[in-house]
Amino acid sequence: MNDRAKLGKEGEDTATALLEKKGYRILERNWRWGKEEIDIIAADGPFLVVVEVKTRTSNAFAEPETAVTRNKQRILVRAANAYARYHRHPGEVRFDIVTIISKPGGEEVNHIPDAFYATL
């Protein structure tokens, strides 16, 4: 596993632990639909929560959440719709982002609930 993949996996592990601590029930990790992937799918009460995780070693050039572009949002919405149909989820779907900046002194973690809406 290369350094970038390792950083991403560690970030997803951190995000999963954070969400579980907040009471989310993790349903899937790295769920694939065709070429598209959802990092984490969780349940938070009646909501099906699609979580995009962005892990960086620095935010010197931009905040990690800015990497979730409109195109990436469209991809996540399509994949989430496929998941909800396949699993017959009757409730609402919410889109969250978890950002992690991994520094030698520790991690800076930020959870952004309702980061964007599926109105694209």
Structure confidence by residue, pLDDT tens digits, 54-107? 999 887 778 889 999 999 999 999 999 999 999 999 889 999 999 999 888 888
Tokens describing residue 56: 């960086």
Is 8 in a helix, a strand, or coil? Answer: helix
The whole-number pLDDT of residue 105 equals: 85
Query: Which pLDDT score is estimated for 59?
Result: 78
- Rounded Cα distance, 19 and 81, in Å: 21
Chain centroid, CA 104 distance in Å: 23
Q: State yes or no: pLDDT of 120 exceeds 60.
A: no
Q: How confident is the model at residue 1 (pLDDT cuts 50, 70, 90)?
A: confident
- pLDDT over 60 at 34, yes or no: yes
Q: 97 near 117, Cβ under 8 Å?
A: no
Q: What is the per-residue pLDDT for 62?
A: 83
| Fold for the domain defined by 3-116 | Trna Endonuclease; Chain: A, domain 1 (3.40.1350)
Please report the pLDDT score of residue 63 as a whole number.
87
Single pTM value for the model:
0.92
Residue 50 backbone phi and psi in degrees, to 5: -100, 120
Domain ranges across the chain: 3-116
